[in-house]
A and B are shown apart, each in its own frame.
Chain A
Amino acid sequence: MSVLLSALMVLLGVQGALAADPIKIGVVTPVTGPNADVGFHVVNGAMLAVEEINARGGVLAQGETERRLIELVVADDQARPDVGINAITKLIDSDRVFAFLGPDFSGVTAPSSYLSEEAGVPQLTSSLSAAITQMGNPWLFRLRPTDKVYAERIVEYAVDTLQSERIALSYTNNELGLSGIGEVEKYLQSAYGRRPAVKVSHGAGDRDLSSAAAAIVRSGADVVINWGLQTEAALLIRDLRNMGWNGTFLFQTADPIFVELAREYAEGVVGPQNWFHSAQDEQSAMFTERYTAAFGRLPTSHSAVYYDGIQLLAAAIEEVGLDRNKVREWLAGLTGHRGISGVYQTANLGGNGDMSLAVLMGEIRNGEPVEAARYGY
């Protein structure tokens, strides 16, 4: 009798433990190394969502009677592919996460994406390279628009909003710049039948952009679309202004790093982001307030999408339960789920895992992006 009683207690204990087990969600991002600042905002965006969900008592998964807390498991990829593969393997095999977010850097996401497919684990990345969702992995979803979407919005802004007559293209001669400026040039031609006034490049690490600036001035361009790295962009706009050029500078990463380097020359620069903290809507304002209170810094676009990523997974689990395949189907079937960073609408975007078309066009004024246009919100 006592043996039976003990066995019953053990079983009850196990059941109790299972019911109380948290749902592990991984996040893979650079926590150390030169890109650790990206990781700071990735982790804290996700952490804020986890804290808010857990403060409500956790997630009530479909088919269960008891709420579970979410446990965030952070893995450091150092923005390096080799480290990233190990980090994701650990999340899947050792930590046994239900799903995971990241990586952010396309160079890490592309070579590691087979891991989520092999294991059948939902993965929500923020990488921008269009190729990431063209590899046929049904478990991989992208929380941000591709560089192609950014390119199209920039061109539309230049032609339709700014009524530009002559557009110069400038790019950093690396994968990022070549891919982005290629999309810009293609869309400029296909949508408007236009060719650039001039197309100039600079190397990654170039510190003398005056020749590129002179070539742009000589072309008579009234708008420059620059696609590349922040440091080179800051040098280019400085040289352009110092040569007396008064046109509008459009840059795909007009973020705080660029503003810090370009200083007064950043004024009036326009750039697209999936989200920024001064977005003109109540949801964004409240998120910014909560994030700043929690972490002492303004949130970035990464903070917002990783916050949304956790909220999306929690919503999926509440609706379809702790079944990875059903969660994958739920994510694939989204048609209009509003997050901080715009509307997630996987089913409307070709069914390859792209979830968002959200773009905020921000014009830098007094060092801060001021919303100039919004798309996909």
Chain B
Amino acid sequence: MKGAGTLLVQQVINGLAMGCVYALIALGFTMIWNTVQTVNFAQGEFSVVAMFIMLTVFVTNNGSFWVGLLLAIIVVSVIAVVMGRVAVRPLIDKDPHVIVVATIGVSIILSNGAKFIWGTQPFYFPSLVGARPINVGSFLVSPQSLLIIAVTLVLVTGLQILSKRTLVGKAMRAVAQDREMTALLGISDVQIRDVTFAVSASLAAIAGVLMAPIVFVDAELGLPMLLRAFVSAVVGGFGNYAGALVGALFIGVMDNLTAFYLSSAYRDVISFGLLIVVLAFKPSGLLGRKGA
């Protein structure tokens, strides 16, 4: 029998890995919120579509992993850009709720499209770095979990650099702050929005590919992932990159510990209970600024 401490640490590591996946989707939420001031509820389905593309290329047709990944990112980014132009742009000056409904519509189309093309049965997806756990000290750790954590760290760092150090990142922040002024400065808000949608969709695509070996590939996964990522972004502080990351890691670990010590039946109760508490007492989230 394993010691309770060892199992606890393993649960925390598993929780961090799941949290990282939620974080990648939540970061996409944050980018779009910061640029378009709306919530994109199609983010979860972007992950699902990427999973299926990867499955088709890498597993079904024994193709290259990198070709599959690249194709998944490109296809999902194109879908996101088209969504931005067709479903979001015409509504940009309308009530933000209308745009939210439009993104929900896109998510329904993507979800049902995935079911239509690939069916409703879940599919096995092999581990990208070996299925068997590795010993780290006295702990057995899934190499896939370590990969997810490492990739997320790299992507978060890259996103930070993109946002703070590059012209595109600065333009994205400028569009978020004052669309008309940036237009007068010659920055096309349409192109910046395209870039935002493409980057956020790419994050969701990578999240889907990383997650596939852990959860299998299933057309039903979009909504549960979306909800967890949304709760993460709100708890961490909507519009705040660091908040999205911290919120997602917190939710991931809390989910696992809830299931370990209580029951998985209480996961949603605890997560959504926390969401209500945050919205009631600190609506700006754990790391959010007042008025954010």
Contact = CB atoms under 8 A, between A and B. Distances in A.
A173 to B, nearest CB: 6
A244 interface: yes
A261 B265 contact: no
B224 interface: yes
A217 B259 CA distance: 14
Contact of B263 (A201, A242, A244): A201
Nearest to B141: A242
A211 B256 contact: yes
Interface string B1-42: 110100100110010001000000000000000000000000
Interface in A216-235: 217-218, 220, 231, 234-235
Contact of B265 (A173, A218, A242): A173
Interface string A81-125: 000000000000000000000000000000000000000000000
Interface in B211-269: 214-216, 218, 220-221, 224, 255-260, 263-265, 267-268
A20 B218 CA distance: 50
B124 interface: yes
Interface string A200-215: 1111011110111011
Interface in A240-262: 242-244, 257, 260-261
A338 interface: no
A207 B142 contact: no
B140 interface: yes
A238 B132 CA distance: 10
A206 B264 CA distance: 9
A34 interface: yes
- Centre residue among B14, B123, B215, B259 by max chain A CB count within 10 A: B259
Given A218-B7, A243-B2, A207 B216 contact: yes
Interface residues of A, number: 30
Nearest to B14: A210
Contact of B14 (A208, A260, A261): A208
B121 to A, nearest CB: 7
A264 B260 CA distance: 26
B124 A261 contact: yes
Contacts of A34: 115, 119-121
A205 B260 contact: no
- Centre residue among A200, A207, A212, A257 by max chain B CB count within 10 A: A207
B264 A212 contact: yes
B10 A210 contact: yes
Contacts of A217: 1-2, 7
Contacts of B18: 208
A263 interface: yes
B273 interface: no
A94 to B, nearest CB: 30
A212 B2 contact: no
- Centre residue among A200, A211, A235, A238 by max chain B CB count within 10 A: A211
A171 B263 CA distance: 11
A207 B215 contact: yes
A220 B220 contact: no
B63 interface: no
Interface string B84-119: 000000000000000000000000000000010001
Given A173-B265, A201-B264, A242-B133, A214 B7 contact: yes
B248 to A, nearest CB: 14
A261 B59 CA distance: 13
A210 B4 contact: no
Contacts of B158: none
A347 B95 CA distance: 68
Contacts of A242: 131-133, 140, 142
16 contacts: A34-B119, A34-B121, A200-B263, A201-B263, A201-B265, A203-B267, A207-B224, A208-B18, A208-B259, A214-B260, A218-B7, A220-B1, A242-B131, A242-B140, A244-B140, A261-B122
Given A205-B220, A263-B124, 17 more contacts: A34-B119, A200-B264, A202-B259, A203-B264, A205-B224, A208-B259, A210-B10, A210-B256, A211-B257, A211-B258, A215-B260, A217-B7, A234-B216, A242-B131, A243-B2, A261-B122, A261-B124
Interface of B: 1-2, 4, 7, 10-11, 14, 18, 115, 119-124, 131-133, 140, 142, 214-216, 218, 220-221, 224, 255-260, 263-265, 267-268
The 8 closest A-B pairs by CB, nearest first: A211-B259, A207-B215, A34-B120, A211-B260, A214-B7, A210-B14, A220-B1, A242-B133
